[in-house]
Amino acid sequence: MKLLIYGYGNPGRQDDGLGNLFVDEAQKWAETESLKNISFDSNYQLNIEDAATIAEHDIVVFVDASIEEIDDFIFTELEPNAKVEFSMHSVSPAFVVHLCKDIYPHTPLAYLLHLKGYEWEFKEGITEKALDNFNKAFEYMKPLLKSPELIIKDFSE
């Protein structure tokens, strides 16, 4: 199974860089674990062109910082959604998956890992509380990244 980890956010806005940090750390970890089935990508925001990238994979996990009222992180399944939402990111992950479904012959299973953030000022550096959330999420995701079929199993039960 080809897995893509796609983090997005602005590392110059404190905790908004959590998605990018996840990609950087997961890539290093995957190399030490010799995991060859995982690809990595990150950007400031999602774009419609990302539909082409995700079409090449069986599973995609989008990773982003969250301002929502969650404890530390949440990991959810994504359904394609044609609704365009205007936010800090140009398009939502659900919209990218929707485009992929409409344009390409293959649509990956898609998931969203939201990491709770706290500070969004224009300066670099993740806050300590957000780093704790990152660490919890990273430990949770490691077995799923080693065995992507566990992700599918988790959501099919």
Residue 89's pLDDT is: 47
- Domain range summary for the chain, segments of one domain joined by +: 3-156
- pLDDT tens-place string over residues 71-125: 999 999 998 887 765 554 468 999 999 999 999 999 999 999 999 999 999 999 9
Q: What is the mean pLDDT of residues 128-151?
A: 96
Can you tell me the distance from the alpha carbon of 57 to that of 52, in angstroms, rounded to the nearest whole number? 10
Can you tell me the distance from the alpha carbon of 120 to that of 117, in angstroms, rounded to the nearest whole number? 8
User: Is-contact 15 126, C-beta < 8 A?
Assistant: yes
Q: Which CATH architecture has domain 3-156?
A: 3-Layer(aba) Sandwich (3.40)
Q: What is the mean pLDDT of residues 121-137?
A: 97
**What's at 6, amino acid-wise?**
Y
**Confidence band (pLDDT; 50, 70, 90) for 70?**
very high
**What's at 103, amino acid-wise?**
I
Report the DSSP beta bridge partners of residue 76. 112
Residue 79's pLDDT is: 85
Residue 107's pLDDT is: 95
pTM score of the predicted model: 0.94
- pLDDT tens-place string over residues 22-61: 999 999 999 999 999 999 999 999 999 999 999 999 999 9
